[in-house]
Structure 1
Amino acid sequence: MAERVVEVEGIELCTESFGEPSDPPVLLIMGTGASMLWWEEGFCRMLAEGGRFVIRYDHRDTGRSVTYEPGRPGYTGADLVGDAARVLDAYGIPAAHVVGVSAGGALAQLLALDHADRVLSLVLISTSSAVPGGRALPPPTEEFTRFVSAAQVDWSDADSVIGYQVAYARVLAGGRRPFDEAAARGLVRRDVERAHDFAAARNHDSLAEGELPPAPLSSIAVPTLVIHGAADPLFPLQYGEALAEQIPEGRLLVLEDAGHGVERVDWATVVPAILGHTGADRAD
């Protein structure tokens, strides 16, 4: 296991792999604005110990991947989708099982629509449909909305950024479980210190505006597992339910009391679910 900066089509992306390259490949796509560190090492190792070759990577403008001037990204959301295929190219992998969380789940859907031959199966965690339309869904919780509207952060000051990110992680956790502030602060601090320019992650905020998906979600023809927390404050559970309904081979796993993201307390449930879903003996 070691970080590896790959260059494909002139784009430098920082990656890290776990496990044996001969095992079934699993590509992890984190949400926009977040580096690969949010796929925690222990989680990746559990998947690798289950017989998977696991790859995580930093999006552009996060971690140690190519970084642009804040406010001037020079790329689109479609480029972030393409980066997932670029990572597979760099590892010589024709197709992989793809796991995405939050906006990374939307990128995974678009990858399955635009590069269908690269995706063996999908796992979509704490995410929403990448395709507009469908049934009406509830807004984020009042607590989440209040936090977003009131939060203030100085992106040039590391302590201010860390404080904001930890507070944001607390809100995303959903409030039904004790929040491990020490663990969250340690992860955020590593993320901030590791980045070329942490403020550049804000370039992701408006990338999806004006972009249309290539086809409806009903076009996704691979087995899809939707994992969603019952206490998700950003995308309430109805988002996961709707997503599983829209994809022909979709099924839903609900995590009781879980918020938004992949929490350590849920690894014992999520990892076996992913291994079962991506295994050759998967039951349809």
Structure 2
Amino acid sequence: MTTVNVQGIDLGIESFGADDGPLVLLAGGTTMLSWPDALCERLVAGGRRVVRYDLRDSGESTTADPLAPAYTLRDLAADAAALVDALGGGPAHLAGIGVGGMVAQVAALDHPGAFSALTLAGTRAVAPGPPDDDLPDHDAAAMRRLFARTTPDWGDREAVADFAAAGARILGDDPAAARALAARIWDRTPGTAPPVQMANQLGMVFSRLDCAPRWRERLPALKVPTLVVHGLENLFFPVADGEAIARAIPGARLLVLPEAATAIPAAAVPQVADAMLALG
């Protein structure tokens, strides 16, 4: 792991594979660990150079004020394009998961020359907040249960891991995997200041971003091969969100994972990796 400076900020990255392989850039959601190690390794076995990275205000990337970000969604999109240039591997296959999938959509639209393919996992085509009338909102019952919980002491590693495991049970993800992931994120977070830890664990930075202008209406202009991956059991971004993206992007392939929710489960890694490799 290291950092790369782009646009005056440092982005935490982790590289896998030989430097001369075709580049697959994995945008975190919000930290790079949203992309499973096993997926990175399988892409490398397929001959790719893989770089996963932390969005601003998360992981090893520059941390300023997670509760009041002084940048926009389009700045995060520009970060992705600038990172490809800095890594010297363009055009790259860009993949984004969750909020990183929103970054990836805007990046591919705003910087088409930087990217040769696009993978969008567990995301939607409108910013945080009320969705369009034809799109589903977050599952109401699950959201009530999530927000009814007492927040942990963000400076207590075990309490944070317990909190993540409980949230995974509500959302239909693997609690043990969520616990382990939360502990790894906690360990990588710079300092134990509660706002910083909370931002890393929950992606709170993204909910406060300026995400204007809308980009959903621009999706038909995308010209790169696109894979849309979505868990059938995703209660946060229901599968209809993924279906809408796949309909909007010409030629996009929709891969629905029957037993997945918000995360990519270990059992689905081979299928997802093979579908990504098939994009070229």
**Structure 2 equivalent of residue 4 of structure 1:** 2
Identity over aligned pairs, percent = 38
2:239 paired residue among 237, 240, 255: 237
Q: Distance in 2 between matches of 1:118 and 1:267?
A: 26
The gaps in structure 1 that reach 5 residues or longer are 280-284
Q: Which residue of 1 aligns with 2:134?
A: 136
- For the pair 1:195 / 2:189, whether they are aligned, the reply is yes
Match for residue 151 of structure 1 among 142, 149, 152 = 149
Which residue is 2:209 aligned to? 207
Q: How many Å separate the matches in 2 of 1:51 and 1:173? A: 33
Any idea what SS the aligned residue of 2:247 has? helix
RMSD (Å) for aligned C-alpha atoms:
2.2
Match for residue 110 of structure 1 among 99, 102, 106 = 106
Following superposition, the deviation at residue 94 of structure 1 comes to 2.6
CA distance in 2, matches of 1:170, 1:89: 40
TM-score for both structures, normalised by structure 2? 0.88
Q: 1:25 to 1:212 in 2, by over 3 A?
A: same
Change (3 A) 1:110 1:265: same
CA positional deviation for 1:214: 9.2
For 2:34, the equivalent position in structure 1 comes to 38
- Structure 1 distance, partners of 2:73, 2:233, is 28
1:282 counterpart residue number: none
Q: State the secondary structure of the residue aligned to 1:216.
A: helix
Shift of residue 133, structure 1, vs aligned partner = 8.2
- Structure 2 vs 1, CA of residues 186 and 121 (structure 1 numbering), >3 Å: closer, same or farther? same
Residue 169 (structure 1) shift? 2.7
User: Using a 3 Å threshold, how does the CA distance of structure 1 residues 83 and 51 change in structure 2: closer, same or farther?
Assistant: same
How far apart, in 2, do the equivalents of 1:250 and 1:188 lie? 32
Assess if the C-alpha contact under 8 Å between 2:138 and 2:238 holds in 1: yes
Residue pair 1:228, 1:254 contacting (<8 A) in 2 also = yes
Q: What per-residue deviation string (whole Å, max 9, x for no partner) do you get for residues 126-163 of structure 1?
A: 11114898761222224422223313314543344333
Q: Deviations over 1:168-189 (max 9, x none)?
A: 2333336xxxx3x333212211
Instruction: Assess if the C-alpha contact under 8 Å between 1:114 and 1:214 holds in 2.
Output: no
Is the Cα contact below 8 Å between 2:124 and 2:241 reproduced in 1? Answer: yes
Q: Is the 8 A contact 1:99 1:123 kept in 2?
A: yes
CA distance in 2: counterparts of 1:14 and 1:74, whole angstroms: 19
**Aligned partners of 1:214 and 1:255: how far apart in 2?**
23
Give the residue type in structure 1 aligned to 2:3.
V
Change (3 A) 1:222 1:76: same
Aligned residues: 269
1:26 is paired with a residue of what secondary structure? strand
Task: Tell me the CA shift for residue 268 of structure 1.
Answer: 1.9
- Partner Cα distance (1:209, 1:275) in 2: 30
Would you say the 8 A contact 2:154–2:198 is kept in 1? Answer: yes
Q: 1:164 to 1:208 in 2, by over 3 A?
A: farther
**Residue 62 (str. 1) matches residue 49 (str. 2):** no
Residue equivalent to 1:183 = 177
Aligned equivalents of 2:207, 2:132: Cα separation in 1: 24
Select 1:83's aligned residue among 66, 79, 84.
79
The match for 1:98 is 94
Deviation at 1:220, TM superposition (A): 0.7
Shift of 1:263: 1.2
- The structure 2 residue matched to 1:226, chosen from 208, 224, 228, is 228
2:26 counterpart of 1:28:
yes
Separation (CA, whole Å) in 2 of partners of 1:56 and 1:253: 21
Retained in 2: the 8 A contact 1:68–1:200? no
Q: CA deviation at 1:193?
A: 1.7
Q: Which amino acid aligns with 1:233?
A: L
User: Following TM superposition, by how much is the alpha carbon of 1:121 offset from its aligned partner in structure 2, in angstroms?
Assistant: 1.0
Q: Secondary structure at the match of 2:64?
A: coil
In 1, the alpha carbon distance for the partners of 2:101 and 2:151 equals 27
Q: 1-side partners of 2:147 and 2:164: how far apart?
A: 15
**Correspondence for 1:48 among 28, 44, 48:** 44
User: TM (normalized to structure 1)?
Assistant: 0.87
- 1:184-241 CA distances to partner (integer Å, 9 max, x unpaired)? 2122111112111323443222214444339611111111111111111112221111
Alpha carbons of structure 1 residues 87 and 238: separation in structure 2 relative to 1, 3 Å: same
Question: Does 2:245 correspond to 1:265?
Answer: no
